Amino acid sequence: MSAWLAPLRLVADFALPPRCPGCGAVTGADHRFCATCWGGLRFLAPPWCAACHRPFAIDQGPGACCDACLARPPRHAGVRAAVAYGDVARTVALRFKYGGRIAFAETIARQLVRIMPDDADLLVPVPLHRWRLWSRGFNQAALIAAALARATAVPSDPLLLQRTRATPPLRAMGPKARARTVRGVFRVVDPKATIRGKAVVLIDDIHTSGATTDGCVGVLLDGGARRVTILCWARVLDADD
């Protein structure tokens, strides 16, 4: 920072101090959580299912898979979430998505760096339909992907994956209805030139049932991607996980 801008930065820091993304309390630096909110986050890491990365209570050894993946192996290469979905994680997601706190994209990206696949070639955000994008003003997954690209030097392509039609909210639907709703919704633009043989990381904010990301994974793999890993801020887990 040039010398003449330093006084302006001091004034800005005093007037607009860094605040906790979870509760808004003043913190020591941007993108940092207060002690209470930090303690309220459950960070996810191994031991976990080798297929879907659902956390295990105890280490079951290399290659161990959960019952769901043994019964029906997923096409994706795992769901890597920074934290489990809970009160603080939900607040951050809601303030980001509906409160317009777009700086939270960097907050989230900083937590995703530690679980980024080592062989990642390309970041692809889950797309919004153009009408949803127009009404909200931004795609939260694309902002996270852009921030993560800056942090890791792995390129991001926000236009490669497209949502061809609008869909109703999936929250109230069962698993089969969700799968039917998103079937045929996504398409890959120019797959041969962009993703052939690449390890793609699909970026989202919250992973719930997986219907939307499964739809994206399918078209990315069909388009030639070598593997697709899902990377997100928070994952909804069962009470006994």
CA 123 to chain centre: 11
Of 160, 164, 144, the closest CA to residue 152 belongs to 144
Low-confidence ranges of the chain (pLDDT < 50): 1-14
Give backbone dihedrals phi and psi of 61, rounded to 5 degrees, phi first.
95, 160
Return the pLDDT at 136.
84
**Token pair for 145:** 């992907």
Q: Could you give the angle at the alpha carbon of 234 between the alpha carbons of 215 and 122, nearest 5°? A: 55
CATH architecture of residue range(s) 44-235: 3-Layer(aba) Sandwich (3.40)
Distance CA 231, CA 171 (A): 20
The token pair at 174 is 């069962």
Q: Which H or E run includes 227?
A: strand 227-235
- What is residue 171's predicted lDDT score, i.e. its pLDDT? 63
Residue 107 phi, psi dihedral angles, 5° rounding: -55, -50
Residue limits of CATH 3.40.50 in the chain? 44-235
The pTM of this model reads 0.88
Output the pLDDT for position 84.
96
Helix (H) or strand (E) holding 87: helix 87-97
Q: Which two tokens stand for residue 209?
A: 């049932």
**Which of these, 28, 79, 85, 89, lies nearest to 203 by C-alpha position?**
79
Q: Count of residues for the chain?
A: 241
Residue 79: the pLDDT is 96
160 and 192 in contact (C-beta within 8 Å)?
no
What pLDDT sits at residue 2? 43
C-alpha span between 207 and 80 (Å, rounded)? 10
Q: Is 131 in contact with 167 (CB distance < 8 Å)?
A: no
Q: What are the DSSP calls for 116-134, one per residue?
A: --TT--EEEEPPPPHHHHH
